[in-house]
Structure 1
């Protein structure tokens, strides 16, 4: 697969501040990739790219906000009709309950009376570069442990587990002149999943409250990840995830079927790819047995079996790419962000940071 086929899309900021001198003709300086970019003074652009015999071109508009230059193609893409679905994981009510919250937390409250279908677009946004982050682990006794998170990709940090020395909180610090951001950790927690972002205006990193799982929940979560499953018995696992999702394409409507253990069914229509959840009232005396998805051209649904105690379901989806689409690289410019560094328009198209230069 081409290195930049998975390139994501990030929306621009609200206010536009155009700097003089940015318009002009640019050539990409990158290994194996030939690309030209023309920025016109009227905020339109033209671009061309070629890689390994595949090529693409685009026209559109550009805007600059501080040091971020955003290209947006004018091409209108038809709604995606042929989609791929994969059941990622299911959650019971116990999985969803936040023991730190008296009411169990928002996800628990939402699922008490509903089945929740989370529709996750499988593609990710390009991960921005970051300064090294010091991650501090504090325990109920003994000294703290520090690990350096020094790259900008989603990764996992492993920390030895001991019943006599349990984790109480973690702190993340990207600048020595600022205090760490701390998160309290439940004593039974064994795995943590923490999403992070970068404020493009200030360059500051922000973090969402981590999801926490105990040992049994962690073993269930990592059941299809042998490496992590082998580590969880004797380690804490911290997963750091870039929390900006790619902009999904428009879709033709998809029918969702909820099949219960008494043979009854309910169905809904998912028509907006930006809608990330569907809720189905949980009927008394019934349990969800299967979930089905039916595309407009299919004769019957594709079915996924779910565990009897499931209350929330994560369903990953993506557009099925046709062979001819693999040879068309125009989508690279659908929504592309570049960082203005002097005469360098810096961008990562999948094979490392490179520059468009005049």
Structure 2
């Protein structure tokens, strides 16, 4: 059985007690679930869900439990409203901005601080492209790309995550001041990765892909992409908890664009609210991705701002807590307007 929150409402005041529920302690309220049981679907009011049994009750508890903030040294990452994670690539070949800051740690750190000043809550630093067909980077070279940038950002007071699949890079980035690991392979590509994260007791972002041990861009062969991705992430979260990583420190990412067709990506984005049933904060990384070009006359990467902001707002509407983006100032502005509209709706 799977549940997806539906029938979102502006505020709970006009409804009887128990008729609406707050989604993950955030700014969204909903009145019903779409219940997916095998191939059958039906919509039930929130109040009727506990009668469906233990699985439904457990999912409902996860959907409605607030996501506690992450206390990371002097910085706090809150999950009661959507926030921005800024993409900072130290690569020569990333699909969007590869080469912009390559081999210039000072300029990269300055760009990162500019994004933090524009409203990014987190700077996500990566040293290896994960686009389809990208060459693998030797771990020592990857570490040399990212560590000087992370040191500068952390010293300047920014909250930093390291975007890597490699345990050695995780170790060195954490030692340099990174506070969060973001792994597109969900800690499956490098056999030491789980141990590193568990020992560091740091938060981790795990992303779905159909073949994380091979690179993440194989064919999914999904029966139902939303429920298949949910099940995969649920299994992975349980495995990491069993390995000693706290559930409250796990963030999940459905992996838009990784081993998924346009149809799959659109279905996942429409089903984003389902992933709160994992009991973890949710990240959405759809900025400038190919699906935007596919829906806008093959617009090149540099002309996908409008689509990127539209997807970010779709994520906010679904209660997504963390939006990974290239265009920070524009996304932050859009979220401020979204937040203003939510606040006004809440007071009636």
TM-score by length of 2: 0.25
More helix as a share of residues: 2
Structure with more relative contact order (C-alpha pairs < 8 Å, separation 6 or more): 1
TM-score by length of 1: 0.24
Instruction: Compare CA radii of gyration and give the structure with the larger one.
Output: 1
More strand as a share of residues: 1
